Amino acid sequence: MEQTVKISVRNLVEFILREGDIDNRMAGSMERDAMQQGSRIHRKIQRRMGSAYRAEVLLKIQCPCEGFILQVEGRADGILTEEGQTVIDEIKGVMRDLELVREPVGVHLAQAKCYAYIYASQNGLDAVGVQMTYCNLETEEIKRFRQQYGLKELEGWFGDLVHAYEKWAGFQIAWKKERNASIRRTEFPFPYRAGQRDLAASVYRTILRQKKLFIQAPTGVGKTMAVLFPAVRAMGEELGEKIFYLTAKTITRTVAEQAFQTLRSRGLQFKVITLTAKEKICFCEETECNPDACPYAKGHYDRVNDAVFDLINKGCELTRGVLEAQAKEYQVCPFEMALDVSLWVDAVICDYNYVFDPNAHLKRFFSEGNKGGYLFLIDEAHNLVERGREMYSAEIYKEEVLRIKRLVKTEAPVLAKRLEECNRQLLEMKRECENYTILMKEAAGLQENPGFAKGEGGCQVVDSVSHVSLKLMNVFAELERYLEECQDQGKREEVLDFYFQVRDFLNIYEILDENYTVYAELERQGHFKLKLLCVNPAANLQKYLEQGNSTVFFSATLLPIHYYKKLLSVETDDYAVYAESTFPEKNRLLLLGTDVSTRYTLRGKEMYCRIARYILETIRAKRGNYMIFFPSYRFMEDVYEAFRGEAAEEDDIECVLQSQYMGEEAREIFLETFEEERDNSLAGFCVMGGIFSEGIDLTKDRLIGAVIVGTGLPQVCNDREILRACFDSRKLSGFDYAYLYPGMNKVLQSAGRVIRTEEDRGVILLLDERFLGAQYQGTFPREWSRIQTCRLGNLEEKLKYFWGNGRI
């Protein structure tokens, strides 16, 4: 029986028929049909068309090819039968003025022609009409283009289209056969560590049952390979079509690449690509994606398919260097070419945003209604809660509206008028917020409103922003028009940034539900913003996860598991696994200093000096490399100043400090300092939750101790207080969800830097009396069960005992 390869009409025409330049100077108005407003207008137009009009007609056709069947399928927006004539209707919702739509966009018309051919050939029609219906989403004005096509003409055109795609589908079938044969021959590349085989089996069962799995696995368990290997095996058994290995940081991508490389060295044939951010992989000094500024953008789409086909037939090696060399050879954009290559590989390693971000996700994989059979492996999954909130929240500033109005008022009076209308609405909301703040402070006896963060301006929860969204829709339409016509590049860039802010706000407004809180905030500096805050990102994440077969969330710090289940999944029957640590307990000394605190009310010179003495005593006990983690840069600097005073007579302690705005090169230099051989001790002063508190891998004597100052609680702010109130209202502990769990994750991540292999020995020192509380200790991992308390007076004794004979 011949194999069948399926492709949608839209994907077929967009892939084969694209041509010309990359040009980001276009605001993307013709793609607005992807917005949810477009779906609504589709339905509205379809309902108006009467009984002779059939909406959302499923059409598919099977085309015999050499060795396989190509099935092309999709839904025609409408089929109209009138006076004996059949017309295929394709509807596109746009924001731009319809006067600027002078003819159908090529790929839109091609979609309609595909449906026309399929319908005509299957219903014995000699000719069929094609109607392109463009509708302005703001005014609901409609403009139509209609053409008549003969069956013979459509047949030849469609045959050429299928023939052009045939080699791609043929490659797909041949490669899959070769890949699956290699998977069957590939064994787990190492002797299983304790618990690792069970972990791998749990991942495989999860994929087999198409479920979600949460894995809490301490460093050293070998979780990357234990997750990756069963996923690869599952693909070989047709349980998944593609692996998406998702990470939050570059360093964890490297770990995944190395794991795949290890499997390939054992004979696995598996194409893997790592997606690099456009700004990093761009060949030009400035990332300007238009044919005037970039030679690789000019004619890109004319050459890119040849570049991709050549590359995927060369082998499995798809490193950044290989991609860049191919892009230069074919004179195409390396970033866009990499996205196209990702269609034909077996695994994609990438940042979360390529899957989940509504503005940056890979539409070729995650367009609405797509079901891809993907396997999602989400590394360092604890990061996805906050990243999810960021991706699904949006805000608009009144001051920004006013600034853009002043910028364009002379050349775009209609846009300026629309912006002023929006500004007036926001001004009215600002006044309400000011009045509300005054009343709340008076009610609280002239004290800070307990619902506001100390030091911030007023904040008011808003029931509805539909009136603002309507005005912003008007603004958005005029911004489209302005960007089409603007010749001033400087102004255009400023307006384009604002355009994206408005777009994001409108897109998020469309998905508002019970998982959101909308609030107005008068910031301390006097700026006024309206924010759509995503409290629980789980439902939004689910829209993408449900396009796959299975999801595995894993991290060394996924505690408490119920917190992550609540905020990352909508299911109630997800699996969870707690992998035990494989490290000898005698190799780690875990201490809790009880005579220090980082509470705001207790901060001061005396406390900073006490913390500094703790750090100094820890370093004195054994020469080596240490990291000291703080809750903020300000706190770090204050303690460092005290430490310099305490260690004034020490000449064998070198200090390095994390700075607030470190670039990639500065980060590498900081880490390289820990790799150097030295006769003295090294103390790295860092911030919890920052770039050095997770993902770095300093093994053996490269790091022998971590001092963690404070509980890592996020700074009190209006966002956090709103999260707290929301979870309290849902009968969950608001303090735990908004502050404790995110804070303790930073603590656990920082502590995890010390013991990385079975040969490592080290000290972890927690400095804050609050760690004694049951709330905090309830978040400790099982392997912390033998934590010892200490005071500054007996710290030296405990450290000498540990380093002296290796026993706790």
Render pLDDT for 754-770 as a digit per residue (tens, 0 to 9): 988 888 899 999 999 99
What is the rounded CA–CA span in Å between residue 505 and residue 502? Answer: 5
Tokens of 232: 């690869």
pLDDT per position as a tens digit, 588-616: 999 999 999 999 999 999 999 999 999 99
According to the model, what pLDDT value does residue 370 have? 66
Average pLDDT of span 242-255 = 89
Average pLDDT of span 376-402 = 97
According to the model, what pLDDT value does residue 299 have? 96
Contacts for 565 with CB less than 8 Å, ≥ 6 apart: 214, 574, 576
Residue 457's pLDDT band (cuts 50, 70, 90):
low
Q: Which is more confident, 735 or 1?
A: 735
Tokens of 94: 């746009």
What is the rounded CA–CA span in Å between residue 702 and residue 690? Answer: 19
According to the model, what pLDDT value does residue 441 have? 53
Q: Examine the pLDDT at 296 and tell me if it is beyond 50.
A: yes
What is the rounded CA–CA span in Å between residue 423 and residue 689? Answer: 37
With vertex at residue 585, the alpha carbon angle to CA 579 and CA 591, rounded to the nearest 5 degrees, is 105
According to the model, what pLDDT value does residue 488 have? 87
What is the rounded CA–CA span in Å between residue 461 and residue 516? Answer: 11
Contacts for 652 with CB less than 8 Å, ≥ 6 apart: 623, 679, 680, 681
Put residue 712 in one of left, alpha, beta given phi > 0 → left and psi -120 to 50 → alpha.
left
Average pLDDT of span 261-286 = 95
Backbone angles phi, psi at 88, to 5 degrees: -90, 125
According to the model, what pLDDT value does residue 341 have? 97
In this structure, are residues 230 and 554 in contact, taking their beta carbons and an 8 Å threshold?
no
pLDDT per position as a tens digit, 475-534: 998 998 898 888 888 898 899 999 999 999 999 999 999 999 999 999 988 899 999 999
| Average pLDDT over all residues of the chain | 91
Residue 270's pLDDT band (cuts 50, 70, 90):
very high
Q: Which is more confident, 273 or 32?
A: 273
645-675 as b/e, with b when 16 or more CB fall inside 10 Å?
ebbeeeeebeebebeeeeeeeebeebbeebe
Tokens of 27: 């605001």
3 state SS of 395: strand
622: number of Cβ within 10 Å: 19
As annotated, the residues of the chain forming the CATH 3.40.50.300 domain(s) are 168-179+197-387+547-578, 585-805
Q: Examine the pLDDT at 455 and tell me if it is beyond 70.
A: no
Residue that the structure tokens 């390693």 belong to? 349
As annotated, the residues of the chain forming the CATH 1.10.275 domain(s) are 394-534
Q: Which of 244-253, 262-271, 297-306 is predicted with the least confidence, judged by mean pLDDT?
A: 244-253
- The CATH number for 3-166, chosen from 3.40.50.300, 3.30.300.30, 3.40.50.2030, 3.90.320.10, is 3.90.320.10
CATH topology classification for 394-534: Fumarase C; Chain B, domain 1 (1.10.275)
177-186 as b/e, with b when 16 or more CB fall inside 10 Å?
eebeebbeeb
In this structure, are residues 21 and 298 in contact, taking their beta carbons and an 8 Å threshold?
yes
CATH number attached to the domain at 585-805: 3.40.50.300
In this structure, are residues 137 and 94 in contact, taking their beta carbons and an 8 Å threshold?
yes
According to the model, what pLDDT value does residue 32 have? 42
Q: Examine the pLDDT at 223 and tell me if it is beyond 50.
A: yes
Q: Examine the pLDDT at 446 and tell me if it is beyond 60.
A: no
pTM of the model: 0.91
Share of the chain above pLDDT 90, in %: 76
CATH number attached to the domain at 168-179+197-387+547-578: 3.40.50.300
According to the model, what pLDDT value does residue 453 have? 47
pLDDT per position as a tens digit, 339-375: 999 999 999 999 999 999 998 888 888 876 567 799 9
3 state SS of 762: strand
pLDDT per position as a tens digit, 27-39: 444 444 344 455 6
pLDDT per position as a tens digit, 699-732: 878 999 999 999 999 999 999 999 999 999 999 9
Chain centroid, CA 192 distance in Å: 32
Q: Taken in order 450, 451, 457, 463, is the CA torsion positive or negative?
A: negative
H helices of 237-362, in order, are 250-265, 278-281, 300-312, 320-330, 334-341, 353-356
What is the rounded CA–CA span in Å between residue 732 and residue 725? Answer: 10
As annotated, the residues of the chain forming the CATH 3.90.320.10 domain(s) are 3-166
Residue type, position 635, single letter: F
Q: Which is more confident, 281 or 32?
A: 281
According to the model, what pLDDT value does residue 508 have? 95
Backbone angles phi, psi at 99, to 5 degrees: -65, -25
pLDDT per position as a tens digit, 393-438: 999 999 999 999 999 999 999 999 999 999 999 999 999 888 766 6
